[in-house]
């Protein structure tokens, strides 16, 4: 706010009078002159007695912007009446005079107007940013820059909606929460037991929070959307100590965050159904006794499978939470889902079937192709209490498929369970020791002789030792395949009629395939 604008409002009903106004510097603070200041801040409006400015009253050191009680005897502040002294308002000075008895009243009025202007002005700045970006990350970074500290935006379930990036968040606890994208049930339960949190009013008034698990103090302010509690803005005290400025601005930021989400990013806080709440609590580790009542009230199919749906091309959370979720329910109306790890975690009813039908699989393939998705499918399970473990299977299927079959859109954990076992091995370099020696012999022979026996045996085993199918897959004549198999027997001395030998060879190919892709 400019000096003239502020003083015109302050002077109403008081003796305050503007003597000179330059309006060069914007005002963002107020302070009293205490007689000790040597330098003054150009963006601060100073209040006090003129005699406190400097001992040499003939040449006082005047702030750029000030409101003074004139108490210097023998020196008239008006230049046309005082030719002996240099005018006080030369240069870039903005000056107003006030009666001594009204000094504190004018100070308090100016401070209130300036604080209100700050809040309203920054709210508008945040809303402009939200309207331009249509996302919360730039808005949170803008607020973090204003506060001089990192900010984290959470929904009512303590999911991380956005966080600032202009300062490094290296607090171990919150760095891990941000990495996960959510806070664990244990963490949420511990936070809710903190006295400052339990006793917090149902308002946006800021609350200072401390806990043993994190070295930083936090300042939090609740977010409300249409009167309903929707989340929290959390400031980490690191770069800048908590001050009255933070206490004043954080409610403005939480108000702007709620309005920005409501107008421009409603997908961030979709209405939680009782099913979504249950699935999310299961994923973040809610204990059985806490979720048992909810499970008892809900209906689930006899047979279930879990899906992990992730974007293969980032089209934003709005696309995932609105478009993809809607189409998923259209494919299978009784599908229940929540949002987790930047994707969709779903439980699909299978009635009494042992797995996804071919029609459902085809529909998921189609959805993944059209909407740039990758979908992981868990093994069959029977109780919704096991959803978290089965979702982990679906997620692992996606991770392993990205290494082994990167073009695959729908990946079944049953196809990758053995690779998951291999991946859990601590001593990766030892995996090759478990391969059948025949593979090494064939690989070296092919390299020396220019043949293709290693691949021939792999295809033959994959075709269940069918000469006809293997020959077709290799695009060679059956007699050529028979000749190659004879060469393989002569080189390796393996008994391909022995089921145990075939099993060991098939496992060896899987291990070798995994090692090659993992290296």
38-43 mean pLDDT: 83
Question: Domain limits of the chain?
Answer: 3-112, 134-268, 274-423, 428-518
Query: What's the pLDDT at 291?
Result: 87
CA atoms of 146 and 160, how far apart (whole Å): 21
pLDDT at 83: 40
Q: Flag whether pLDDT at 119 surpasses 70.
A: no
Taking the complete model, does pTM exceed 0.75, yes or no? no
Is residue 502 predicted with pLDDT exceeding 50? yes
Domain at 274-423: CATH architecture: 2-Layer Sandwich (3.30)
In percent, the amount of the chain with pLDDT more than 70 equals 93
What is the C-alpha separation between 246 and 242, in angstroms, rounded? 6
> Edge-to-edge strand order for the sheet containing 207-211?
160-163, 150-155, 228-236, 214-225, 207-211
Average pLDDT over all residues of the chain? 87
Q: With bands split at pLDDT 50, 70 and 90, how would you rate the model's confidence at 100?
A: very high
Say how far apart CA 141 and CA 149 lie, in whole Å: 10
Residue 417 has pLDDT above 80, yes or no: yes
The string of DSSP codes covering 301-317 is -SSEEEEEEEESS---H
Lowest mean pLDDT among 10-24, 147-161, 390-404: 10-24
> Helices 387-404 & 274-283, crossing angle to 10 degrees?
70
Is residue 84 pLDDT above 80, yes or no? no
Which CATH superfamily hosts domain 134-268?
GAF domain (3.30.450.40)
What is the average pLDDT across 349-369?
A: 92
The rounded distance, in Å, linking the Cα atoms of 354 and 348 is: 12
Same topology for domains 134-268 and 274-423, yes or no? no
Q: What is the mean pLDDT of residues 75-100?
A: 63
Question: CA dist 485 to 391, 498, 499, Å?
Answer: 43, 15, 16
What does the pLDDT read at residue 164? Answer: 95
Residue 85 has which token pair?
A: 């002294």
Res 85: pLDDT:
42
Domain 428-518 of CATH type 3.40.190.10: no
- Per-residue pLDDT averaged across 275-295, rounded? 88
CB atoms within 10 A of CB 421: 10
499 pLDDT band (50/70/90 cuts)? very high
Highest mean pLDDT among 59-63, 222-226, 229-233: 229-233
Express as a percent the part of the chain with pLDDT over 90.
51
Given pLDDT bands bounded at 50, 70 and 90, which one contains residue 324? very high
The pLDDT, as a whole number, for residue 290 is: 84
pLDDT value of position 93: 81
Band of residue 395 on the pLDDT scale cut at 50, 70, 90:
very high
pLDDT digits 0-9 by tens, 231-283: 999 999 999 999 988 998 999 899 899 989 988 888 887 777 889 889 999 99
Q: For 40-61, what is the HEC assignment?
A: CCCCEEEEEEHHHCCCCCCCCC
Over residues 308-326, the mean pLDDT reads 90
Q: What is the pLDDT of residue 90?
A: 56
> If DSSP codes are grouped into helix, strand and coil, which group holds residue 283?
helix
Q: Name the least confident of 34-48, 77-91, 246-260, 278-292.
A: 77-91
pLDDT (tens digit per residue) in 201-221: 778 889 888 877 777 899 999
**pLDDT tens-digit readout, 143-199:** 999 999 999 999 988 999 999 999 999 888 899 999 988 988 888 888 888 877 777
> What pLDDT, on a 0 to 100 scale, did the predictor assign at position 202?
77
Mean pLDDT of 286-297: 86
DSSP per position, 153-190: EEETT-BEEEE--SS----HHHHHHHHHTB--HHHHHH
* Assigned token pair, 104: 């504190």
pLDDT-derived band of residue 120, with 50, 70 and 90 as boundaries? low
More confident residue, 465 or 227: 465
pLDDT for the residue 195: 77
pLDDT band at 140 (very low <50, low <70, confident <90, very high): very high
């Amino acid at each position: 706010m400019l000096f003239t604008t502020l003083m015109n409002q302050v002077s109403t009903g008081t003796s305050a009078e503007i003597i000179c106004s330059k309006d060069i510097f914007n005002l963002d603070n107020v302070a009293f002159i205490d007689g000790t200041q040597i330098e003054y801040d150009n963006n601060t409006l100073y209040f006090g007695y003129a005699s406190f400015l400097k001992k040499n009253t003939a040449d006082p050191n005047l702030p750029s912007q000030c409101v003074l009680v004139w108490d210097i005897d023998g020196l008239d502040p008006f230049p046309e009446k005082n030719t002996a002294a240099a005018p006080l308002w030369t240069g870039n000075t903005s000056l107003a005079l006030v009666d001594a008895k009204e000094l504190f009243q004018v100070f308090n009025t100016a401070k209130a107007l300036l604080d209100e202007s700050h809040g309203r002005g920054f709210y508008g700045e945040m809303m402009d940013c939200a309207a331009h970006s249509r996302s919360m990350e730039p808005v949170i970074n803008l607020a973090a820059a204003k506060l001089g500290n990192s900010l984290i935006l959470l929904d009512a379930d303590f999911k991380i909606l956005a966080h600032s990036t202009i300062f490094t968040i290296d607090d171990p606890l919150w760095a891990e929460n941000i990495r996960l994208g959510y806070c664990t049930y244990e963490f949420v339960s511990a936070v809710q037991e903190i006295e400052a949190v339990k006793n917090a009013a149902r308002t946006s008034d800021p609350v200072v929070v401390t806990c043993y698990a994190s070295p930083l103090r936090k300042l939090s302010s609740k977010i409300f959307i249409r009167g309903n509690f929707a989340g929290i803005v959390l400031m980490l005290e690191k770069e800048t100590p908590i001050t009255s400025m933070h206490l004043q601005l954080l409610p403005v930021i939480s108000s702007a965050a709620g309005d920005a989400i409501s107008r421009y990013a409603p997908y961030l806080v979709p209405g939680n159904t009782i099913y979504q709440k249950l699935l999310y609590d299961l994923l973040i580790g809610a204990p059985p006794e806490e979720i048992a009542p909810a499970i008892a009230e809900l209906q689930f199919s006899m047979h279930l499978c879990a899906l992990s749906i992730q974007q293969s091309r980032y089209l934003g959370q709005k696309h995932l939470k609105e478009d993809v979720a809607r189409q998923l329910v259209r494919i299978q109306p009784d599908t229940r889902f929540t949002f987790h790890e930047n994707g969709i975690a779903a439980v699909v009813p299978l009635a009494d079937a042992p797995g996804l039908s071919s029609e459902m699989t085809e529909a998921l393939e189609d959805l993944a192709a059209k909407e740039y998705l990758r979908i992981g499918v868990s093994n069959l399970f029977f109780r919704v209490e096991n959803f978290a473990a089965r979702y982990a299977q679906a997620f692992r299927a996606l991770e392993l498929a990205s290494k082994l079959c990167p073009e695959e859109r729908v990946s079944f954990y049953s196809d990758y369970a053995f690779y998951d076992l291999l991946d859990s091995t601590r001593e990766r370099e030892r995996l090759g020791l478990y391969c059948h020696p025949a593979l090494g012999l064939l690989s070296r022979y092919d390299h020396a002789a220019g043949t293709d026996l290693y691949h021939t045996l792999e295809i033959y085993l994959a075709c269940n030792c069918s000469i006809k199918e293997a020959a077709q897959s290799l695009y060679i004549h059956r007699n050529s395949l028979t000749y190659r198999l004879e060469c393989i027997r002569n080189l390796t001395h393996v008994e391909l009629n022995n089921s145990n030998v075939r099993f060991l060879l098939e496992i060896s190919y899987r291990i070798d395939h995994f090692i090659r892709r993992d290296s």
